[in-house]
Structure 1
Amino acid sequence: MTRTPRGQAPDVGVPAELADRMTVAEQHDWLSSFLRRHPVSRRSALRGCAGVLAATGLAAAPWTLAACATAAQAPVAVVGRHLAYGADPQRQMAFAGELTAPPPGPVVVDLGRDGSFGTTLPVDVRRLVSRVPQDGDAIRGSEQFFVHALADGLAPGERYRYRFRLPDGTTTPEADFVTAPGRGATAPWSFTAFADQGVDTVPPSGQEGYTNDYESDDTRRTMTPSTSMVDRIARQRPAFHLLAGDICYADPSGEGLPERRGGSGFESFDPTVWTTYFGLIERSAASTPWMFATGNHDMEALYDDNRAGGASHGYGGHAARLDLPRTGPSGCPSVYTFRHGTVGVISLDANDLSTEIPTNAGYSGGAQTAWLRRTLTALRADAGVDWIVAFFHHCAFATSKAHASDAGVRAAVAPLFDEFSVDLVLQGHNHQYERTNPIRRGRSVVQAPDGATVRPETDGTTYVCVGSGGRPRYSWLDGVTDRYRGNPGPDSGVTVASYLALGEDAKQPDEVDWSQARYLDYAYVTVDVVPAPAGGGETTLTVRATTDTGTEIDRVVLSRRT
């Protein structure tokens, strides 16, 4: 019996015949042994080139030495800026970016509210070294430097300006952000969400066999769906953006990508894809907090003992690149909660719960689900919280030919969501848009067609799959069709064929009665929040699905009385 289903192990250089039998920790042990036998010194590679080193044995690589040498002569710069909330979004904001080379001195963040910058924040520089074994004795290496700062003591509901300032006095362009509103605020606001984004461009190296292989009949999209999503969200300027896992696909080998097309590059983990990705989202993320959950493509065994992270389940690289609120259980870096206005948001790590892809299953030892119960209890006891929104990667409720519903995730979270009347759940993994009727005990409670109003207290939880963030789409099971506003084709209805994923090639057929809206292309969700008046009354969440071409295709209103 293999430890990880074939084709689903994170692939960072371990031979495929071994990786299929290894956990993430076992892959890391193999890599550590390999790298001890084939060390790469800093003298063996050039600095620069956005932190990438062309290392030993990389003949004919796109990371050319000439390009790196040219880049090394350029001034140090901060690229790929992105914001995230701290534990308290009213008073904290985390700033991050990547340096194009090691800084010759301290980097700082200038922060202010009016016409001048009145505060200087210290910046932590986190060095991330990636040494990826290649065929034979070769190693492909990169050295990246990420900058992080945290602002605390901010005023709720206020706009601030900031910039990174380098040792030579040069600065990044100024950007601004708004903190979460204080308690009692009644002004409407919005947030956005999707999952499974990736990058539209071919990665710069190491993944030559990995392409954006869109189907020939995929004609309803823009040329670059992932980029189009960022453009729309940047123009919309939501309060924050949620990404429900499978962020940039630096690891292209987890289950959930287009059919393999050959080429040795497909198998290679490429840390510089993160550089491309942060550059892609910067025009939104420099001003809007992007809050990430982790998916199966975000498990990176290369970093199990990386000092920048200290994780033991493939998340060490994320600790160098990302800032996430540290409000979850220790050892679960992508499990956290934050509150914005009257909405409590929960990020879960479905890798810990999945039966379909068990590489990281059970790593928390039950700590995550115990924390989830405590967190839901606290949110429902908080008179200032009207709404609970959860987001994670593997779906508890979805249909598709690729992944459908994960039995482990459903068993872990659905009973708790029923018990605590969770309002909205945002998922990824299946590359499609799909919205359910409100669900309780696994079945539809009421029908909620496009434009309907749902009352979660009595009707149940609405689950939305937004794995439609840019990666090439999947397909429905035979006989299942699209179902959305403006659909010109056949309509297979709400009751359709699906299955529960129990493990590798283990599927339990399931005819479901809850698949209300389906769109097999690229879309993101906007959630418009209208708080109740100061004296109490009706509050709503309006969930709207918009395609990458700007067309609204689905809408449902969730309503509560306060």
Structure 2
Amino acid sequence: MKRHHLLFLLLFCPILVQAQDIKELSPQQAFMETWSHPKILPDRITLNVTENMAREASVTWRTSADVKEGFMEIAEALSDPMFIQRSVQVEARTQTLDARDVKAAGTRANYHSATVNNLKPNTTYAYRVGDGTLWSEWFQFTTASENETDPFSFLYVGDAQNYILELWSRLIRESFRKAPEARFFIHAGDLVNHAHREQEWHEWFTAGGFIHSMIPAMPTPGNHEYRARTEGNVEDPPILSIQWRAQFNLPPNGPSGLKETAYFFDYQNTRFVSLNSNRSLGSQARWLDKVLKDHGKEWVVITYHHPMYSAASDRDNDQLRKAWKPIFDKYGVDLVLQGHDHSYARGHTEPINVPEGVNMMDKAGTMYVVSISGGKMYEIGGNWEELGAIKDRTGEKTQLFQVITIEDKKLIYESYTPLGELYDAFELHKTEGGPNKLVERSSELIPERIFSGNN
């Protein structure tokens, strides 16, 4: 196409360009395999959520197998650069992951994991990692407050999965620019496309860069985190990504057999739960019932991969709905964050056990969100009304990230495009003895992006 023809399309036909299949716009590039090989310097430095975010911090990183030990140095951050003289050193647990027999992985590396305790609440710390001689740069993070009513924000994205380095990078970097004070980052599954493929994990870590090192990750596994150890072998059962437990160090409080994929932690006045929608739905329902019983927090936020109510056609997850929705309803789960359907849908169920005489015009039960952050897109679909839910907002062929803020008895949800446009926004307000009040912010939003003609 000649240059002036392309310029005409970009200036006068924006909808046509936006609606094209991403494969036509950006063929997936091939990257050199050697980019992903580990070296003696630390890489993939990742903060992880912990059971006690006010008092603990956990970091993981990778080196070549030549590096036999690792250390984390940490100090309370000060404006004076001499804070480094007050740092303490924590020895890491080192494990070797030899994946040379897995064609998609093909590497041997050492993964290091260090956890530090007895930190001060609501305090900014600086840390670095290394082998005692070769060190990373210093990174900073802030611990949770022990005052439960203090406001805080966190980020949430759906599937990165495809075109990770090419396109997801701009999305996650824009999310950091929009919410640099976010206290952790929810990744709702399908972080990569092929569970064991080392190059894709390298793209994920490279795309996020220092963001992974400064904002703790709360990942939940998607179906693409489960693949046969030998790609393409249908007789080989799918297993969790061989890199998952080595490169993430997550709370080990989940049900048997699902540790570090199903887990929970409390952040100030909110209980956060990751469920594994790929495995053992029934046993997780029983575990979740115990996790939500008498938890004593104001809010409950749950994340998992496969949606309760699908955002695309012919992708219904009936077994998941039967297993988990009764538990969500029983305990009044406030917000559910999901991925998988590569489009956007947000809606709610009606409250149950409502006191007599309550006006239901602006009330909501559980709010469900399906979102997409990577470059692979599906048309919007799914009839929520037939399943007893109300769909409030939809979108397709649009990369999105979400900033969620909790201010005591108010939850503020905002969804943004990579251009920083406000695509969706609402608030949930706690009421005395009744369901959440839903406040829509429709007047602030750009128009819905729907190209398929379905809704």
Partner of 2:170, secondary structure, is helix
Match of 1:321 among 247, 252, 257: 247
- State the distance in 1 between where 2:101 and 2:158 align: 27
CA deviation vs aligned residue, 1:429-451 (integer Å, no higher than 9, x gap)? 1111211034457xxxxxxxxxx
Whole-Å separation in 1 of the counterparts to 2:105 and 2:332: 49
Deviation sequence 1:34-68 (CA, Å, 0-9, x none): xxxxxxxxxxxxxxxxxxxxxxxxxxx9547xx99
Question: Which residue in the other structure is 2:46 paired with?
Answer: 82
How many angstroms apart in 2 are the aligned matches of 1:245 and 1:85?
16
2:209 alignment partner, SS class: helix
Match of 2:345 in 1: 434
The answer to whether residue 421 in structure 2 is matched with residue 551 in structure 1 is: yes
After TM superposition, give the deviation of residue 185 of structure 1 in Å. Answer: 4.1
Note if 1:285 corresponds to 2:208.
no
The answer to whether the Cα contact below 8 Å between 1:161 and 1:176 also exists between their aligned partners in 2 is yes
CA shift digits 1:148-205 (9 cap, x unpaired) = 11111212111110001324x22111001111111x3433211110121135367xxx
Distance 1:395 1:188 in 2: 28
- Relative distance call for 1:272 and 1:146 in structure 2 (3 A) is farther
In the alignment, is the contact (CA less than 8 A) between 1:435 and 1:464 conserved in 2?
yes
* 1:527 correspondence with 2:404: yes
When the two chains are superposed, the root-mean-square deviation of aligned CA atoms in Å is 2.9
1:517 counterpart = 2:393: yes
Contact map agreement 2:157 2:401 (CA 8 A) in 1: yes
Q: Secondary structure at the match of 1:368?
A: helix
Match of residue 228, structure 1, among 138, 161, 170: 170
1:198 has 2:161 as partner: yes
Give the secondary-structure state (helix, strand or coil) at the position aligned to 2:126: strand
Task: Tell me the residue number matched to 2:5.
Answer: none
The secondary structure found in structure 2 opposite 1:475 is: coil
Give the Cα separation in 2 of the matches to 1:166 and 1:172.
10
The answer for unaligned runs of 5 or more in structure 2 is 1-30, 78-82, 231-236, 353-359, 433-455
CA contact (8 A) 1:199 1:227 kept: no
Change (3 A) 1:294 1:192: same
Task: Give the letter for the 2:277 counterpart.
Answer: A
What does residue 366 of structure 2 align with? 461
Cross-structure match for 1:377: 293
Match of 2:57 in 1: 93
Cα deviation, residue 390, structure 1: 0.5
Specify which of 123, 132, 142 is matched with residue 92 of structure 2: 123
Contact in 2 for aligned 1:250/1:274 (Cα 8 Å): no
In the TM superposition, what is the alpha-carbon distance from 1:140 to its structure 2 partner?
A: 7.4
Partner of 2:273: 346
Task: Please report how far the alpha carbon of residue 141 of structure 1 lies from its aligned counterpart in structure 2 after TM superposition.
Answer: 2.6
Q: Do the aligned residues in 1 keep the contact of 2:227 with 2:238 (CA within 8 Å)? A: no
2:24 is matched with none
CA shift in 2, pair 1:85/1:454, >3 Å: farther
Q: Which residue of 1 aligns with 2:6?
A: none
Answer yes or no: is 1:250 the counterpart of 2:161: no
| 1:108-119 map, 5 Å | 108-114=71-77, 115-116=83-84, 117-119=86-88
Distance of 1:454 and 1:392 partners within structure 2: 27
CA contact (8 A) 1:401 1:474 kept: no
Answer yes or no: is the 8 Å Cα contact 2:411–2:427 preserved in 1. Answer: yes
- TM-score, length basis structure 1: 0.63
CA contact (8 A) 1:225 1:548 kept: no
Shift of 1:317: 3.2
Distance change in 2, residues 1:94/1:454 (3 Å):
farther
CA displacement at 1:510 relative to structure 2: 4.2
Contact 1:498/1:512, CA 8 A, preserved across alignment: no
CA change 1:453–1:196 in 2 (3 A) is farther
Alpha carbons 1:244, 1:392 under 8 Å: kept: yes
Contact 2:164 2:200 in 1 (8 A): no
1:555 match: secondary structure: strand
* TM-fit CA distance, 1:400: 1.1
Structure 1 residue 312 displacement after superposition: 9.4
Compared with structure 1, are the counterparts of its residues 511 and 335 closer, same or farther at alpha carbon in structure 2 (3 Å cutoff)?
A: closer
User: Are the aligned partners of 2:271 and 2:300 in contact in 1 as well (CA < 8 Å)?
Assistant: yes
Residue type of the alignment partner of 2:306: H
Kindly provide the CA deviation profile for residues 501-545 of structure 1, in whole angstroms up to 9, marking residues without a partner as x: xxxxxxxx94765111001111111111111xxxxxxx1001111
> 1:337 touches 1:345 (CA, 8 Å); kept in 2?
yes
CA distance in 2, matches of 1:108, 1:148: 9
TM-score by length of 2: 0.76
Determine if contact 1:395/1:406 at 8 Å carries over to the other structure: yes
CA–CA distance in structure 2, aligned partners of residues 199 and 121 of structure 1: 36
Q: How does 1:474-493 map to 2 (within 5 A)?
A: 474-477=378-381
The residue that corresponds to 2:199 in the other structure is: 272
Structure 1 residue 343: deviation in Å?
Answer: 0.9
1:471 partnered with 2:360: no
Cα distance in 2 for partners of 1:339, 1:226 equals 28
Q: 1:406–1:426: structure 2 CA closer, same or farther, 3 Å change rule?
A: same
**What letter matches 2:73 in structure 1?**
D
Asked if residue 424 in structure 1 is aligned to residue 335 in structure 2, the reply is yes
Aligned to 1:178: 142
| 1:89 Cα deviation from its structure 2 partner | 1.2
Deviation at 1:128, TM superposition (A): 1.5
User: CA separation of 1:131/1:550 partners in 2, compared to 1, >3 Å: closer, same or farther?
Assistant: same
Aligned counterparts of 2:101 and 2:65: Cα–Cα separation in 1 = 21
Q: Which residue does the alignment assign to 1:209?
A: none
Distance 1:300 1:129, change over 3 A: farther
How far apart are the structure 2 equivalents of 1:558 and 1:127?
Answer: 46
Q: In 2, Cα distance between the equivalents of 1:341 and 1:560?
A: 16
Q: Percent of pairs identical after alignment?
A: 21
Report the AA paired with residue 498 of structure 1: N
Q: Identify which of 258, 276, 299 aligns with 1:332.
A: 258
